[in-house]
Each structure stands twice: as structure tokens, then as C-alpha cells.
Amino acid sequence: MGEYSKIYQSWKSEPLKFWAEAAQAIDWYKPWKKVQGELDGLERWYIGAQCNTSYNCLDRHVAGGRAEQTALIYDSPVTGKKRQYSYAELLKEVETFAAVLEQSDVKKGDRVILYMPMIPEAAIAMLACSRIGAIHSVVFGGFASPELATRIDDCRPNLIIAASCGIEPNRIVEYKPLLDHAIELAEHKVEKCIIYQREEHVVALNEGIDFDWQLLVDDAKDAGRKAEPVPLLATDSLYILYTSGTTGTPKGVVRDNGGHMVALHWSMKAIYNIDAGDVFWAASDVGWVVGHSYIVYGPLLAGATTIMYEGKPVGTPDAGVFWRVIEEYGVKTFFTAPTAFRAIKKEDPEGKLIADYDLSKLNALYLAGERADPATIKWAEQQLKIPVIDHWWQTETGWAMVCNPLGIEKLPIKYGSPTKPIPGYDIVILDDEGEKVEAGVTGNVLIKRPLPPGCLPTLWQADTVFRQKYFENFDGYYETSDAGFIDDDGYLFIMARTDDIINVAGHRLSTGAMEEVLSAHNDVAECAVIGITDKLKGQMPIGLIILNNGVTKDHAVIEGECKQMMRDEIGPVAAYKTSIVVERLPKTRSGKILRATMRKIADGEDYKMPATIDDPEILTEITDRFKHVGLI
């Protein structure tokens, strides 16, 4: 039996023993009464234990001899800035900013929204919140004001921390007007904001509401104020991260302190083969789960060095920038989204720029966030000559469910599969009736309960929605909303989503939310948004719109308005560009729009005429329309 099978079996036969042992790697103020069990109707880990995430990320490394080791590297080709923080320096910034939070009346259990670009202050603010037990909720900078307002109303923060701007290669993203508008839109009234002024774009602050980050920090430093880590229950919430659901209202995924630390710490070695002192780089954004888990918490829990990279894979300045960063900092394990590699491959198909850099320290590349297409994996393997590891996870789980765990054993790679389940995850495939399917047959990908440490214990103040969404359809299982199969060798293949979520450039987006935006257009009677295959971004949204009777406006004008509405309501991250005016939409006899069938037509895939279709002629109309606009 190989090492992977041994460890997986050891977890399966005694899961509580397995996770109790893994928890020894974390410093606790007080041990747990129960490794796992039910608390207030929810499945929880390390019940009764006390701990602090910021302490485990920083203080204990400083105390344990890593004070001078680099904890965080900031590299920003969009501003030309670079900076490094040792563990001691990062601790100083975090304990000072935590004192600023306390001074700003933020208490344990309060929520703090962060609307920040990829600058060290984002990580400092996250860690400072965790130090005093405030629950942070980071909102990705590519979301527009209404999305921010929805999150403000859901988690009702006492404070928002924002930067004056984000920087995209083609423009300055002015956060302040977006923030002010969101506060105006929200019903919950935010009384205080701390604004980090970036020299690239300094903004005017609202008297009595907005406070300057640097002035507050300078004051605290002058007065010698710093906040000690507060003992928190393992089951207390560390953060809320909103993610797209099937409707326009995002779901507030909650993460706890104890289980999260144990799972991430364990994953750093077992999955990514990272030890203390190694350099780990996840080229994502703190606004996404990858950024939470593997830019901030995971590497710091492990005593590794993490990199915050503010730039793109291409164009900042070229398709060699990833190799430059890997060489410059001696990155051992690199993690990014397949779409980033597709972008590099497009710019530099022969990988000429790779030859300019010394990548000898790089041991492995990990891809996640969307399906890793075999062509991209093979290209990366050929260019880098290291293992290229696809792994599958979601915001809800916070860490990989299925992976090739290099820190345990390198399993043979099968292209198109993220490999095998990680200890903690018993993955089964059931059909819609809840029956097990045979190997190779596609069905619903489910996880046997309880979920392992690190996964969401609930949705923010929505236990009922949590149960309905994830547990109601399949008794005893967590529903991932992905469809796929397990082959004869136990390898999982993820094929599609079972809901209306699409994945654009590794970003998870709700077509339901986009339909809500289009429906609000005065001339639109009905609409459907589908995600069609895109060579670079994996998927791209397109909107099919039926106009109200009597609308005479030029269709191009309406399409332009729809695009702008999507940017204003959801944000540029939606990457919504194409609307197609149609006469009718295909539906079932019960009125359900046949989105999947239209997607197949757009992607040139074979499709079966749905048995329940109301009027098959409409599919011919749609096909003709797609041909007419040059989509197929």
C-alpha cells in the first residue's frame, strides 16, 4: 500500500484520532472537550478549545526563532514597488493595527469589511481582526457598489477598511466613490471607515466618518499601543467570505478559527509539500478564498514565506513576470488559476521568456479555481519540467478536497482529473435519486458528512439556508453542486456545475445575479444568461434578451446599456460583454428556461432534444440567431 492510501485509510478508520493528532501542530490556550460533534445544531470541530489565529500565524514563529525570517513579500509591478516584512515586522504591524481597531471601538464578534487591493495592508488588517476576534469580510476590488452594499447589509459591519484605490494595468480603480456609493445604498449604516491612502491616488476623506490609516497607525506607534491576541473559541468565526449562489444574493461562507488552522496547517505540508522557511506563492487575490487560505493564513501558519503579488500574468510588463517573481524570491511551490497559464501561453506559446529565468528552486505548480484543461497542463509540464498538479476545491471547503498530495506521495497524473480525495473527504457520486452510480458514470459529486475541519460550519446568520442549500437533497451528504465521475482507479473527474454558477477566469459568478441586472433594464422583457466556452477565461457570460413589445431603440444601444449596467451593478469582474436580442427563449412545458441546451448549442456540442420542451422550433431560432451574430 502506498503512503497516500495508508494515510487516507488511517483517516477513514479513525477520523477523530487523525484530526486530534493534526491539531497538535497548533498552539491552543485551552484543549478541546470534543474533537468533533454537534453544537447548536451544527457540526463543529474542536468544541470548547481556545486559540487565536493571529498568534499562530505570527507570535509563535517570532517566539520560536523565525523573527528575522521573511514572512511576507510584496511585489507590485503595477506600481513598481517591492517590500518585505520579517515575521517580527509583520507582527509589529499587526499588533499595532489591532490596537487601532480596538481604539476604533471594534470588539470581539464585530464584523469588519475590507475592500482592499493586493497590498500588505490587506493581510495586516485581516490578521489584526483575527487578533482581537473581530470577523473580517473581504470584498474583492472588482465588485461594484451594489455588491458591496449587499454584503454590508448582510454582515452589518461596525467598520469598513478600504484603500483609496486599486490599480489595474489600464486604469486606477477609484475605491472611494464606490465605497461611498455602497454605504449610501446600504440600509445598515456604517459609521466609520479607515482609509489607506495610496500615493498613486490620494482621496478626500469625509469628516468624522473616514479616518486615515497611516495617521492612526502612527499615533498608536507613538503611544506604544499594541493589542495582545485574545483567546477565542475554536468555533468562533474568523471570517465571512461571500460567494456566488444561484440567486443574486451571495452566500456568506463562515470560517471558524480552530478547524481552519488545523486544516490549513496540515494542507501546507501534505498537499503543497511546504515546510517552515520555504517560499510559497499563490498568485490570486485576497478577495477570493485562495487568497484567504493560501496568500495569508496557510503559509503563515506553516512559518513559510508568502508573496502578495499585485499584477497580472501578462502585460505587467510581459508574460515572463511569473518567472521573474519565482526566480527573484526562490519560490518552491506556485499556485495559480489555469486561466493565468492560458494567458501566458497565448502571449508566449513557445515559452521563450521562461529561458531567461532560473526556476531551479520551483518544485511544483498547482492549479485550481476552474477545470484545468489537459492542453494547458501539458504545456506547463513541458515548459517547466516539474509536476503540474490540478486540485479541486471551493470557497465553502476552504482547502482542497481532491488533489495529488505531493507532501505525502506523488500519485500518477491523469490529465483532466484532480486525482484522489484528500483525508477528511469521503467523496461519492450519486444520481439524482440518491443511488450510487458505477465507476465512470457522471452524477452529483457529494461529500459524506461530517465535513472535515476548515470547511464552512454554516452561512452567516443563515443556518436554515445552509441546511437547505447543502444538505437537503442528499441525506447524509454535503452537495458540492459539481457533477463528475470517479473512474476505476478512484480518480475524480469534475465535468460541470449542476447549478447556474459559471466560472470566468477562475472567478465564480452567478448567472442568476446577472439575469437580475438585465431584467432591470427598461426595455428587457425576459432574459437568460449562460456561460459559453472561452479559450482564455474558461467561460464567458452571454445574455439572451427578449425586448418589450414596441421597443424601437437600436439593439446595439440596448446591448451597450446592458454591458454598462453589469459593470455598475456587479462589477468589471463579471466580464459581461455580449447581449443577443432574441424573439423567444426555449422553455420546458413548466416554464423553465433551457439554459443548458442553449449553452450546448453555443459551444457546438451535441444535445438531446429535452423531452419536456414546450416548442422545439425555438431551438432552431436560437441556433440561427447564434449563427447570425457569429457565435457559431
Binding site for ligand AMP (CB under 6 A): 243, 289, 368-372, 390-395, 418, 480, 482, 494, 497, 503, 508
Which residues lie closer than 8 Å to 335 by C-beta, 6 or more apart? 272, 280, 281, 282, 283, 284, 290, 294, 365, 366, 367, 368
Quote the CA–CA distance of 314 and 326 in Å, as a whole number.
15
**Shorter beta-carbon distance to ligand COA: residue 312 or 521:** 312
Return the one option of ligand COA, ligand AMP, none that residue 343 interacts with (CB less than 5 to 8 A, by type): ligand COA
Least distance in angstroms from the C-beta of 611 to ligand COA: 37
Report the alpha-carbon distance of residue 419 to residue 391 in Å, rounded: 7
The answer to the question of residue 395 lying near ligand COA (CB under 6 A) is no
144 vs 581, which CB is nearer to ligand COA? Answer: 144
**Residue from 77, 133, 141, 259 in contact with ligand COA (CB under 6 A):** 141
**Which residues are bridge partners to 136 per DSSP?**
112, 239
The span from the CA of 219 to the CA of 136, in Å, is: 23
Q: What is the per-residue binding string for ligand COA in 556-585, x denoting contact by CB under 6 A?
A: ----------------xx-x----------
Q: Are strands 135-138 and 50-51 parallel, antiparallel or unpaired?
A: unpaired
Binding partner of residue 482 among ligand COA, ligand AMP, none, CB cut-off 5 to 8 Å per kind: ligand AMP
Binding site partner of 149, from ligand AMP, ligand COA, none, Cβ cut-off 5-8 A by kind: none
- CB closer to ligand COA, 86 vs 579: 579
Which is closer to ligand COA, CB of 504 or CB of 622? 504
* Residue 173 touches which member of ligand AMP, ligand COA, none, C-beta under 5-8 Å by kind: ligand COA
**Going along 55-164, which residue ranges are E strands?**
70-76, 81-86, 111-115, 135-138, 159-163
Q: How far apart are CA 303 and CA 149, in angstroms?
A: 36
Of 176 and 595, CB closest to ligand AMP = 595
User: With CB cut-offs between 5 and 8 Å by kind, which of ligand AMP, ligand COA, none does residue 325 bind?
Assistant: none
Binding track, positions 149-188, relative to ligand COA; x by CB under 6 A: -----------------x-x----x---------------
CB nearer to ligand AMP: pick between 23 and 455: 455
Q: Return d(Cα 428, Cα 443) in angstroms, integer.
A: 9
Residues 6+ apart with CB under 8 A from 437: 429, 430, 431, 443, 485
| Alpha-carbon span 336 to 362, nearest angstrom | 14
Give me the least distance between CB of 425 and ligand AMP, in Å please.
Answer: 13
Report the partner that residue 573 touches, choosing among ligand COA, ligand AMP, none (CB closer than 5 to 8 A by kind): ligand COA
Report in angstroms how near the CB of residue 16 gets to ligand AMP at its nearest.
27
Cell of 613: 420542451
Helix or strand (DSSP H, E) at 511: helix 511-519
CB of 330 to ligand COA, least distance (A): 22
CB-based contacts of 361, cutoff 8 Å, min separation 6: 279, 326, 330, 331, 332
- Any idea which residue has 488533489 for its cell? 403
392 forms bridges with which residues in the sheet? Answer: 402
Element (H, E) at 605: none
Closest by CA position to 79, among listed 192, 197, 172: 172
Least Cβ distance, residue 389 to ligand AMP (angstroms): 10
Scanning 203-211, 455-463, 504-512, 608-616 for contacts with ligand COA by CB under 6 A, the matching segment is: 504-512
Paired sense of beta strands 427-430 and 420-421, if any: unpaired
- How many other C-beta atoms are found inside a 10 Å radius of the C-beta of residue 426? 16
Task: Give least dist CB 219 to ligand AMP, A.
Answer: 38
d(CA 133, CA 127): 10
- To ligand COA, the closest distance from the beta carbon of 9 in angstroms equals 31
320, interface contact from ligand AMP, ligand COA, none, CB < 5-8 Å by kind: none
Q: How far apart are CA 165 and CA 178, in angstroms?
A: 10
- Interaction site with ligand COA (CB under 6 A): 141-142, 166, 168, 173, 284-285, 288, 290, 312-314, 336-337, 339-340, 343, 368-369, 505-507, 536, 572-573, 575
